[in-house]
Structure 1
Amino acid sequence: MKTSIRFENAIAKLYTAFQNETLNPEDCNRCAIGTILDNKDSWRHMTDIHGSVQLNYVGLVHQNLGRRFNGYSPLELLKIEASFLKGCGYRLGKHFCHKPDCIDKTILFNGLCEVVATLCQLDHIDNVMDCSKLFGHHVAKPRNVTSPVLENCEF
């Protein structure tokens, strides 16, 4: 599978941060985007709420000027960060971002899996973390169950 340079660079930086235990969703320099942007926090000025995918004025100016930061547009950066936070168990809303009680290595890994999925989506490639094709298993989408027999069942 052919991937972009920005994808390769982002994955390498995230892998190193995860292995060195420097990844931290509460630190703008060491979160997913801070890591991708060489441990700089300038990206945080592009939105008013941590975890939001809504650009503020500064973010819109950069977006409309076509600026790229290590290959990613401001909107793409916010999407990547939001996916990381969601994967780490944060509850994100239009006007808030609530963090989970604790963050351990497993939770950070879950966040990274979401980031990788988002990076793949942004580059229009198959999710490299998805092993369903490897094992020949495809997860079916849940169907609406309207059977009266199953209606009162607890799953």
Structure 2
Amino acid sequence: MKSSERLEQAIKKLYVAFHNDTLHPECCKSCAVGNICDTSESWKYLTDTHGSLELNYIGTVHQRFGRKMNGYAPKELLQIEAVFLEGCGYSVPLIRNSKRPENPTDKEVLFNGLSATVAFLCQLDGISNVMDYSKLFEFENNKPKHELTFA
């Protein structure tokens, strides 16, 4: 199944941010959604609390008008960010006493957050998780069920 333009763009932006060390879960410009939205903080005005799934008045208006930011509806952006934060080890929404990872920019912490995020982005587009390689290890009669191919 072919992936959508929005998914490909989102994954590219997250990939670049991860490898350029410009991904930070607690910064609205450098978090998953901040990067998807071209390092803009405009998405943060859709909710009152970072990591919340609740749209505020502004977010609700944008959602009802069908507006999108880089292909994603306001509600989807909040979901993406919550998945990223939870994948990094946060409890959401982020408030003063929320559970946080000891080192939020640790590559393993960020990788876990991005893995969860990419899986969710694929789910939003109704395609299989592009990071799931488990099929490569399925076998039948001691032979692989699927061929390893490179596009």
Q: Give yes or no for TM over 0.5.
A: yes
Tell me which interval the TM-score lies in, with the shorter structure as reference length: 0.7 to 0.9
Residue of structure 1 in register with 2:136 after alignment: 134
The two structures have a TM-score, normalised by structure 2, of 0.86
Q: CA RMSD in A?
A: 1.6
**Secondary structure at the residue paired with 2:129?**
coil
Residue of structure 1 in register with 2:107 after alignment: 105
The runs of 5 or more residues in structure 1 that have no matched partner are 138-155
The runs of 5 or more residues in structure 2 that have no matched partner are 140-151
Q: Deviations over 1:102-146 (max 9, x none)?
A: 220100000000110110010000011112212118xxxxxxxxx
Greater radius of gyration (CA): 1
Which stretch has the larger CA shift, 58-67 or 85-94?
Answer: 85-94
Show the 5 A alignment for 1:1-150: 1-93=1-93, 97-103=98-104, 104-136=106-138
- Equivalenced residues, count: 137
**Secondary structure at the residue paired with 2:14?**
helix
**Segments of 4+ moved more than 3 angstroms:** 93-98
State the percentage of identical aligned residues: 58
**Secondary structure at the residue paired with 1:92?**
coil
Amino acid at match of 1:112: L
Q: What displacement does 1:95 show?
A: 7.0
Q: Are the structure 2 counterparts of residues 64 and 95 from structure 1 closer, same or farther at C-alpha, using a change threshold of 3 Å? A: farther
